[in-house]
Chain A
Amino acid sequence: MSDLTGAASQLSRRDGGGAAAPPPRERGGSRKPAASQVAAWAFLAPVTIYLLVFYAYPLYRSLDLSLRNYTVRSFVHGHAPFSGLKNYSIDLHDPTFTPALLHTLIFTFASIVFQFAIGLALAVFFVQHFKLSATLRALFLVPWLLPLIVSASTWSWMLNSDSGVVNSVLHHAGIASVNWLTAPKWALVSVIIANIWIGIPFNLVLMYSGLQAISPDIYEAAALDGANGWQRFWRVTFPLLRPVTAVTLLLGLVYTLKVFDIIWIMTRGGPAGASTTFATWSYQLSFGNLLPAFGPGAAAANMLIVMTLIFGFVYFRIQRKQRES
C-alpha cells in the first residue's frame, strides 16, 4: 500500500503537483555534517511513524489473522495456533471464491470504464463555459458529496421491485418491471449503476482541471492545420490529458476494487451471492455472520490487497512503457 501512495505522489510531483520532496540523501562518503543528517531524519520521522502505525501495523495484524486458526475463544484469549496457509486454502476452495473474483473484476472494470467516459464527456462539455455552467458543475458534484449511506439507501428505494420509481417509469413505458435488487442476474448490474453514478464527479473534477491546463493556442494551431472537432479531441486533447488520465484511472481502480458500502447496503452481496465481491465477502466472513470467521475473512482481505497491488504494478508498467516511447 505504501508503495502505491509513494508512487502516486511521485506522479503528481512530475506533473507539477505540490507534494514537498524530502531532502536528498547523501551517497557514499559524505562530508556533510551530522547535524544535517539528523535534520533529514527528523523531517522523515513523522511520516515514517504515521506509515508504520497506520499502514504497516494493520497490514501485519491482517497477515497474522490470516495465518492463524482463530476460534471465538482464541480470538478473545489469544494463543491461536499457527496454521500456515490453511485459511487461504479454505477461501480458495470455497464455492464463493470464483464468483466473488468474477464479480469483483466485472464490477471494477465496468465502473471505471463508464465513470471515466462519462466524466470526461462532461468535462469536455463544461470547458465551454456557458451561462450557469459553474452551478451545473457544482450540482454534478452532489453524488460525491452525499454520505454513501444516503446514496445507497436512495438507490435501494428507487430500485425497489414493487414500489420503486424506476420500475414505475418502465411500467409507463410499457416495459415489464425488473427485479433490480432481488434477481440474481440484475443485482450486480444495479450496484454497478449506483457506483458509476457516485464515481462520475471524481472523474469530472480531475479531467476538468486537466483540460483547463491545455492552452487554447494548441487548439488554434490544430484548427489552422485543418483538424475537425473529433480529430482535435483524439489527437490533441486526449494525448495531452495522459498524465491526468493516469492518476485518475489509478486512483479510481484502487478505490473501486475496495468498494464495500454501496454493495452491502443495497444487496448485502446477495441475493444468493450474486453481487458478492471480495470486499463484501471478507466482511461477511468476519462480521456478517453470527459466528465470526476472522481467519478466512482476513485471508480474503489480503487477497484483495494483492489484487490491488498487481493491478497497480501492471498499470505502472504500461505507464513507463508509454513514457519511454
Chain B
Amino acid sequence: MNLLSSCGASAGVKIKRTGYDTTALLSQTLLSAQQGNSPDVLIVDNPVVSTLADAGVLASNDQDNIDTSAVAPNLLAAGVLNGKTYGIPIGANTLALYYNKTILSAAGVDPSTIKSWADLTAALAKVKAAGKGGITLSAIGTEEGSFQFLPWFWGSGANLTKLDSTQGTAALQLWTTWFKDGYVPNAAIQDTQTTSWAEFATGKYAFAENGTWQLSNADKAGFPYGIIPIPSMAGGVAPAPTGGEFVTIPLQKDTSRYATTEKIVSCLTSSDNAFNTDTTLGYIGATAAIQAKQASNPELPVWITAVGAAKGRTSDNLGTNYPKISQQLWTAVQNALTGAKSASAAMSAAQAAAATATGGK
C-alpha cells in the first residue's frame, strides 16, 4: 500500500487501489474493459494474462516501453502470446512440501531421503503407522486444484496436451491411492490451499503441499518445520507451476495516460521495490538480481531452486487453451478422488472433453 502511494507520488499522481477476489478478477476486468472503464494498472494472476491479451484488453510491452530483459524466461513465458509480451511479473511463487519435523522424527522418517514418489509414499505409510496424518493438499474443483496437482502431473513426465497418457494417469493414480489409504484428509476435495494449510497447522499432519506465501504462517505454526522440493516420479525435483502476479497495463482510450502508467509500473517493479514486495508477500524475485539478494535468507534457497525449475501454466504455447484443459484436469481429479470414475477413465474423459473444448489441440 505504501509502495503504491510512494510510486504514485514520484509519478505525480494519487493511486486508487481496488482489490478483488482472484476468482472474480477476470470477469471484473472483462466487464470494465467492455464499459471502457479499465484500470490504468492491473495486477493479475499469471495464467489469465494470455486470456486478457487475447481479449484485446492489455497493451503489449512494445507499446509501453516496459523492459523485461532481466526477467527469467520461464517466469516471463506466461505473459507471452503470439510472440508479444504483455506485462511484467512482480515475483513468483511455487509449491513445495512443508514437513513437520516432530512427526517425522517420531516416525523415523528422514526427509532428505525423499527423492521420488516411492520414497514419499513409504514415508507416508510410516507416518500413518505412527498414528499421524499423512499429507494435506488441495484438490478443490477450481484452478487451485489444478495448480496443486500439476507438480505431480508434470513430475510423471506427462504433458498437458495429452491428459490420458500413461504418465498422466499414473499421477492421478498416485493421489487416488493415497486418498484411499487415508494419507490425505477427506476434506481435501473441498479444501482451498488456505484451508489445507489450516489443517497442517493443527500439527496433526506430517506433510503439506503448499506455497512460498505460507512461509510467514509456517514460522507461527508452533512446531519446527522444514521444506523439501516436490519429488518427481523417477527421482529429482518435479517442475512445479509458477504462481505469482503480473503487473499489466490495460489499453486506454486516452493514450496520454500511458506515460504516467509506465513510470508507476517501472517504480513498482524496480529492483529494490520488487525485492521489498517479494519479501512481504513471500515471493521469489523474477530477476536474477533480486534472487541473488534473496539467497542470503537461509529459508529461501530451496524455493529459489524450485522456482528455477518451475514452468508457467500457459507456456508450451498453451496460452488460452490452458484454462479449458485445466478445468478438465480438476474435474478428472475430483472424479477419481470421489470414486466416481477410475483414474484412467477420469483422464480419458478429461482428455476427450479438453480436445473438444480446444478444437483438437
Contacts and interface: CB of A to CB of B under 8 A. Distances in A.
B186 interface: yes
A257 interface: no
B33 A76 contact: yes
Interface stretch (B161-169, B215-223, B280-288, B327-335): B327-335
Question: Size band of the A side of the interface?
Answer: 20 to 34
A267 B190 contact: yes
Contact of A72 (B23, B51, B324, B337): B51
Nearest to A182: B189
Nearest to A72: B55
A297 to B, nearest CB: 11
A76 B30 contact: yes
A76 B55 contact: yes
Given A162-B186, A292-B26, A292-B27, A272 B324 contact: no
B234 interface: no
A292 B30 contact: yes
Interface residues of B, number: 38
A182 B338 CA distance: 7
B296 to A, nearest CB: 36
B56 A77 contact: yes
Contacts of B335: 272
Contacts of B340: 184, 271-272, 274
12 contacts: A73-B54, A76-B30, A78-B34, A162-B187, A271-B141, A271-B340, A272-B334, A272-B340, A288-B23, A289-B323, A291-B320, A292-B26
Contacts of B47: 290
Contacts of A292: 26-27, 30
B1 interface: no
Contact of A73 (B24, B55, B331, B339): B55
Interface SS, B side: helix
A272 B331 contact: yes
The A contact surface, by secondary structure, is loop
Given A72-B54, A182-B190, A268 B30 contact: no
A160 interface: yes
Contacts of A291: 51, 320, 323-324, 327
Interface in B20-44: 23-24, 26-27, 30, 33-34
A316 interface: no
B119 interface: no
B20 to A, nearest CB: 12
Interface in A40-90: 71-73, 75-78
Interface string A180-192: 0111100000000
B56 A76 contact: yes
Shortest 4 CB-CB contacts between residues of A and residues of B:
A290-B323, A291-B323, A72-B55, A161-B186
A268 B47 CA distance: 21
Given A179-B186, A184-B338, A290-B143, A75 B55 contact: yes
A238 interface: no
A72 B186 contact: no
User: In this complex, which of A72, A274, A288 has the most chain B Cβ atoms within 10 angstroms of its Cβ?
Assistant: A72
Contacts of A269: 141
Contacts of A267: 190
A312 interface: no
A72 B48 CA distance: 12
B269 interface: no
